[in-house]
Structure 1
């Protein structure tokens, strides 16, 4: 099943396209750029910086009316830049989203995606867990956190990680059974667990929901190893 890993990993983070910098370069930049640290690194800002922040917040609120709406808008922008491999701009948008609404769990979904794209799984999980403290019912965070665990399972064959992924995905599914990413990854996890019945069950559910993002080589593997 080793070849399936490539397929899975390409589906996990929207920034699987060519990144504009390496992780070493990223970490070097964060030493001098607080904009690239989650929550701006929680540094104490100068009066001038605080004034600039307030000017930005006031401008956004004129357009989006509430802090949460403005924050969600910026999170969406962050993921758009992430999909293009522009990690710097993505993190800046996520931080601006946090500035508007520190209690928006989706900000931490964005932070986690940044670190996940660099394969820093422990740092990504820290951010996902912060989001889940705010909203334990966030299915998107639960699904992406689960993804980190089964990617690691593919690398080291540690069954405890696969079991953790399954537990998280089942929680996510109980919250939102119509998320195609969740149903697809449940199918894959059951496939890796050699549970063909459930692998097909969630594969079929994913198809009924629109069939995305099912990859052809996963379909072929499922048919070959779990013929029904």
Structure 2
């Protein structure tokens, strides 16, 4: 069982690698473009920028009805762009979502996903933790935080990293046992550890819910290595 293959199986359905800008390019551009920084880099905005913000807020409030609903709409748009590998537009939308509702934990889920896509796991983890301060029971953020730990485990082979990953997955699962992303990744985690019983358990639960994140390659690897 090769970890590099499992790594691909574990994360390919979640993250948009192959982005259209390098991380060094992103950081250079962010020096003058506050929209590429979470919460606009906490910058002091100009009169014109503030007016533009208010126009945006009113536009989305008319469309969605409440600040929270408008914020969630923008978060969804952000992830749509993330999956299309357009990370810059994704970040614009996540920042707009924050503008509509700074208490929306899913905004920080989006911020974290941006940094995760660049491989900056430390910054990603910081954003996930910010989101969990707002909602400690966010299944989506807990699962993605677990993914950070699992990524570290792939490099360190440390039981500590693996245990942190599986504990976060378990907490996420206890909150939402029908989160297919969580189920698939839990199966893959146990697969890495050659715990076939649990690998099949969470695989089957994911499959029963539709199996959306499951790849053909993972099914073949699980079937081959964990014969029943």
With the shorter chain as reference, the TM-score category is over 0.9
| Counterpart for residue 134 of structure 1 | 134
1:64 is displaced (CA, Å) by: 1.2
CA RMSD of aligned residues (A): 1.2
SS in 1 for 2:12: helix
Aligned residue runs from structure 1 range 144-163, under 5 A: 144-163=144-163
SS in 2 for 1:137: coil
1:12 is displaced (CA, Å) by: 2.7
Give me the TM-score of the superposition, normalised by structure 1: 0.95
Give me the TM-score of the superposition, normalised by structure 2: 0.95
SS in 2 for 1:12: coil
Aligned residue runs from structure 1 range 158-197, under 5 A: 158-197=158-197
In structure 1, stretches of 5+ residues that fail to align are none
| Counterpart for residue 57 of structure 2 | 57
Aligned residue runs from structure 1 range 70-109, under 5 A: 70-109=70-109
Aligned residues: 226
Partners of 2:54 and 2:217 lie apart in 1 by 50
1:127 is displaced (CA, Å) by: 0.4
2:6 and 2:192 in contact (8 A); partners too? no
SS in 2 for 1:194: coil
| Counterpart for residue 7 of structure 1 | 9
Partners of 1:43 and 1:91 lie apart in 2 by 16
Partners of 2:167 and 2:94 lie apart in 1 by 28
1:180 and 1:213 in contact (8 A); partners too? yes
1:47 is displaced (CA, Å) by: 2.4
Partners of 1:146 and 1:155 lie apart in 2 by 15
Range 147-156 or range 82-91, more displaced: 147-156
